[in-house]
């Protein structure tokens, strides 16, 4: 066997080893790439899932916040409407006919006289003549005098002569009491 044959044999053997090493390296590279792609797919799926959860959470928070804003606006509108109803009711009570006003004022003064025997009666400017007439007509109210007018829609505020006791029988006070006790029922009827 000649030198050339030995060189060719060594070359051939080297080439085969290089090819085997390359094939082995390619297989390892393909395996590494395959593992990397699988890991990348897992990470992407995990990231997509986490992003989906985060998006759902953010969406839910935004929807909840929007619902709260809407609920607050609805409650504010309802309160504004109830305030308008209250003001209209107070104005309507103050605008009742003169006969009603006289009877109501007479009853309120008689009721006050049971608690305060002598005192000063305050009423709105419109009702002062009516109160003066009632006080002059009823002997049981002879201990009362008419005081300065007050800013009330109707009714009376009676104060003892010494100022120690005051009874508020104004229409606003009565309506306020009725309003507080019936507010939930009125709200349920109006906004149910």
101 shares its domain with 161 = yes
Q: What is the pLDDT of residue 191?
A: 66
In the listed set 70, 85, 107, which residue is the last one of a domain according to the structure? 70
Q: What is the pLDDT of residue 110?
A: 94
Q: Which helix (H) or strand (E) segment is 122 a member of?
A: strand 119-122
Task: Give me 3's structure tokens.
Answer: 């030198």
**Helix axis angle, 3-94 relative to 171-191, nearest 10°?**
140
Q: What is the pLDDT of residue 134?
A: 93
113 shares its domain with 169 = yes
pTM comes to 0.61
Asked if 157 and 166 count as a contact pair (C-beta separation under 8 A), the reply is: yes
Report the domain count for the chain.
2
Q: What is the pLDDT of residue 1?
A: 57
**Spans of the chain below 70 pLDDT:** 1, 190-192
Provide the residue range defining the domain that includes 53.
1-70
42 shares its domain with 109 = no
128-159 pLDDT, tens per residue?
999 999 999 989 888 999 999 999 988 999 99
Q: What is the pLDDT of residue 113?
A: 92
Q: What is the pLDDT of residue 166?
A: 95
Q: What is the pLDDT of residue 18?
A: 82
CATH code, 116: 3.30.2320.30
Q: What is the pLDDT of residue 128?
A: 94
128 shares its domain with 165 = yes
Q: Regarding beta strands 155-160 and 144-146, do their DSSP bridges make them parallel or antiparallel, or are they unpaired?
A: unpaired
**In a domain? residue 44:** yes
Task: Give me 161's structure tokens.
Answer: 């002569």
**In a domain? residue 81:** no
**In a domain? residue 88:** no
């Amino acid at each position: 066997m000649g030198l050339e044959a030995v060189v060719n044999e060594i070359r051939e053997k080297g080439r085969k080893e290089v090819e085997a090493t390359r094939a082995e390296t390619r297989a390892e590279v393909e395996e590494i790439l395959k593992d990397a792609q699988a890991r990348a797919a897992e990470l992407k799926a995990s990231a997509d899932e986490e992003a989906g959860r985060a998006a759902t959470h953010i969406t839910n928070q935004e929807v909840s916040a929007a619902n709260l804003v809407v609920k607050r606006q609805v409650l504010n509108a309802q309160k504004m409407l109830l305030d308008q109803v209250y003001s209209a009711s107070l104005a309507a009570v103050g605008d009742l006919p003169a006969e009603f006003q006289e009877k109501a004022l007479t009853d309120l003064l008689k009721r006050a006289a049971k608690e305060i025997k002598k005192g000063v009666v305050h009423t709105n400017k419109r009702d002062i003549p009516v109160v003066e007439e009632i006080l002059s007509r009823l002997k049981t109210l002879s201990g009362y005098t008419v005081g300065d007018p007050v800013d009330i829609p109707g009714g009376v505020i009676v104060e003892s002569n010494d100022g120690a006791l005051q009874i508020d029988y104004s229409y606003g006070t009565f309506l306020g009491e009725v309003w507080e006790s019936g507010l939930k029922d009125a709200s349920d009827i109006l906004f149910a």
